[in-house]
Chain A
Amino acid sequence: MHPPARSVRWLLAGALVSLSSVASAETYYGPEIVTLSRQTIDVLKLHQHVIGQQLLLDKTPAFFELTLRSMPATLQYDDGGRSKVGISRLGLSTGFGFGKPRTGFAGFAGIQVDMVATTEFPNFFMQREGFQVGQGAVYGGLALFGFQATYGVMAETSGRGLNPQGYFTRRKFEFRPGTPSEVVGGRANQDDTLSSFFTFSHAEGLTVGATLAELGAEAKTQLAALRAQFSPVRLIDRLELREKLGVPGIGFERYAAEIDYWGDRFQDARRQAEAVANGIQNANPIPTTTSQEETWEIPVFVDDIAGTGLRARVIPQVKPEVKLRAVEVSYFLSGEGFKVGARTFAFQRGSSFTGSGEAYVALQPAFFDNFSIFGVPWVTLSYSYNTPESATFLPIPNAHVIGAQWLYGLPEMGRPLIPLVAREERSHEGGSYEDRSYGLDEEEF
């Protein structure tokens, strides 16, 4: 056999083996994955990304983004049956507007959805019985010389396909006469809520983000995560230091005690759910191996090191104990009609270090130009392993995640599948940024 042909065959065989290992999915019971999903999804982050980009671009472009990321999983239902599915996170963001939000007046509106649901795998377009946790928002806003305000209505479903204890089910449940109305009304899988929100932002200054969520047994809304970051991009560019140094930055991150951002407690939660689902009768919960205290971190980073597209980030944890939480190295490269990126983490989950890897490739296939009435989309494919990432998926330990994204419009308006910061390609066309970095740092909780 010709050596190159042999190599291709073995490459194909290797791909099949790796796909097969991807298909050997972990088993999930309900409470552990649904809690993680509820803590992770945040449609307001999608919203903030879009309005932030508008200010940066000084445009309100029409766009449509559909992002799907999925991992194989085995669900165990409360009747003892199991089925293989995909756990998928769907992000949908679309909007339009007029005017210049930073240098003039602008108006805009949009719809956004952030959802985790069970689907087929790898065909994550087909929904499967299991669960569904999601948020959707419809918003409108106005901007005037860099001041931007939005108002929106947000709908939320906190779980479907779950029994009243939060485990996967294929049956319906009834309550006996005499059941208090708050018990019937508060059952986990019928908890749909509607709320409204305001946001306010300005084109200059520090980035501060906060996430409010219902946490703990009391389910009271509280500050789940607070993230602040200072990275003087404009100053560095004005001083022309990017090519020599890069863009340095420092941040502060605070996670509530209930938030398991790095997955320290996920395996304990899974063992607990497994024990209950398998009928291990234990009046007292399995003790967790890690404490539940709020976490403070101070990440320090340099983006686009010496203009190469390389990024390095070190995340020391300062509370509840001082330790090195993570080190990140990433690389981004873009060209005409394509973008590629890769990122790796070494991070501490629980008491031991582990690693993650991820990569993506984004293309703008020219042949769409022949028939698409919406223009040429960006199509992105990605793969991640063991990533402590919550922007576009769930931070599940050892998860193999595949992803795809379709984006019509400016690529900046879509969330990056893998958050990377890249070299800015600034062109002065009416004072706006065009085709600059593919992704901003989006590792929001």
Chain B
Amino acid sequence: MKSRARLLLLTAILVAGCLKADDGAGDDELGSLRGAVQGAFAPGSTLVWDLVPREYPNKVESVTWSLRDGSSLLVPFYRLAREQADSRVALMAHVTRDGRVTPLFAADDADAAPFTLTANVPPPTVLPCGDEAIVRICGPEDSTLWVTDIEQGRAQRSEISFAGCKAAVLGRALDGERFFLLQQRPQIVAMTEWSCQGGELQQTWVSDEPLPAMLTLPIWVEEIEPRVLAWVRHLPVAGGEVGSGQWVYERSDGAPPVSIGVSELPAPSGYDPTKHWERVRREASGSLLVDGIGGLYRWHVEDDGRVEMLGEAPSPEASGWQHVGFGTAFSSQSEPNPQLETLEVPLSYAVQLPTSDGFTSSQVPSTPCQTREACRRLGESYLRGIVHTDGGPLGLYLHWTWQLGPVPVGMSGGGGADLTALVIAPLDRALP
């Protein structure tokens, strides 16, 4: 009997061993494509968006702002093309001065959709707030603010609704976990101070001496002394042409304003939202560095008020410069895709970067892969952003795979989704 029982037990083991495994589908349907794409990227690359389905796969733009410690925050965004939330999509990426990249994901998965802007608002605006950053996303009527948690790789949307970008402008504080808001109200411009401590936005100060109403809001505001703000705004000439008038530098402590003609300091003066990236930086001396039209300028606002042209913008590649940050732009040469002429095949890219006395430009790789062929086998790549670091420039590349998302066997065609990845890769590589 014992032998029979042992035999039965062994038979049961055999049957169990031969049973078919679960044939059910798993949740990572793109694992091997992800592996192939990531394996092709150049060493030192960091994914910002994992490979995700996208309805508008190549419509991504980006803007990069500098933070207090010399690091940068890069924010990708869409215009007029709303995409679904996806937890694998980082909303922005923090890049340290020495080039380390930290993708920042939405703290709440429901907020994980890439930023979508309407046509008439400026790109995302970034302000340092202590060790973190505030990101302002302008809407048609109001704006939302996001607070970063760089260490945790998160960005939290604030519940507070701020005024729209035509009615209010944000400014950097001298230090600490604060920022300022200048808001156009009937007859006056209100000045308020906000705290971002612990990721929570709180109003901490309201100026009891509001400023007189302004015809145009400042293009730049910053705290230059404790609770003393300085700003630059455009004073148009009545009936004058666009691009005429004056730039005025004013301080909230009543110091005499400093003016200069727009012709001497060419910078976008009308309300052209697409041209409002980080264009003004305050130097330690108090003078302002201005990323103007066609050149880099230093305006000695705390000295004799003169404007010095530091350098002229270099000539672009075939296309015009696409500006993505302070003094930073790229230009491309491309040809129509022979399989679909409405698409472009980028052949080469040139980038423009700011230096202490002007600009430098250079050719950079057209793909984030170790070789162009490696990327071309998998999809098309497009440069979409640039970050300047001490370790060399980094590029934000969009990679749009040839392969569509998987379609279950038996279904008719057309079911696959376009797949896009965003990756930050070093630009100072050999041109493959």
Contact = CB atoms under 8 A, between A and B. Distances in A.
B413 interface: yes
A295 to B, nearest CB: 26
A398 interface: no
B29 interface: yes
Interface stretch (A15-23, A303-311, A378-386, A407-415): A15-23
Interface string A19-59: 11101100000100000000000000000000000000000
Contact of A74 (B21, B27, B380): B21
A16 B28 CA distance: 37
Contacts of A176: 400-404, 416, 418
A12 B339 contact: no
Interface of B is mostly: mixed
Contacts of A78: 29-32, 406
Contacts of B337: 178
A9 B32 contact: no
Contacts of A172: 406-409
Contacts of A1: 3
A351 interface: no
Nearest to A31: B32
Q: Which of A20, A30, A169, A281 has the most CB of B within 10 A?
A: A20
Nearest to B419: A176
Interface string B7-25: 1001101100111111111
B35 interface: yes
A3 interface: no
A30 B31 CA distance: 13
Interface stretch (A81-89, A139-147, A334-342): A81-89
Given A1-B3, A283-B43, A17 B10 contact: yes
A166 interface: yes
A171 B29 CA distance: 10
Nearest to A1: B3
Contact of A284 (B10, B36, B39, B340): B39
Given A17-B13, A20-B13, A175 B408 contact: no
Interface residues of B, number: 55
Nearest to B368: A283
Residue from B28, B36, B377, B403 with most neighbouring chain A CB atoms (10 Å): B403
A180 B375 CA distance: 12
B339 to A, nearest CB: 5
Contact of B20 (A13, A83, A163): A83
Interface string A170-210: 11111111111101100000000000000000000000000
Contact of B34 (A164, A279, A284): A279
B43 A284 contact: yes
A246 B416 CA distance: 65
A174 B416 contact: yes
B7 A12 contact: yes
A167 interface: yes
A216 interface: no
A285 B27 CA distance: 23
A79 interface: yes
B293 to A, nearest CB: 35
A23 B17 contact: yes
B50 interface: yes
A177 B340 contact: yes
B10 A13 contact: yes
A278 interface: yes
Given A9-B3, A177-B339, A183 B407 contact: no
B156 interface: no
Q: Which 3 A-B pairs have the closest CB atoms?
A: A80-B26, A276-B35, A167-B32
21 contacts: A6-B3, A13-B10, A17-B10, A20-B18, A21-B17, A78-B406, A80-B28, A83-B23, A164-B36, A165-B36, A167-B31, A171-B408, A171-B409, A174-B415, A176-B418, A178-B380, A179-B402, A277-B32, A277-B35, A281-B34, A281-B38
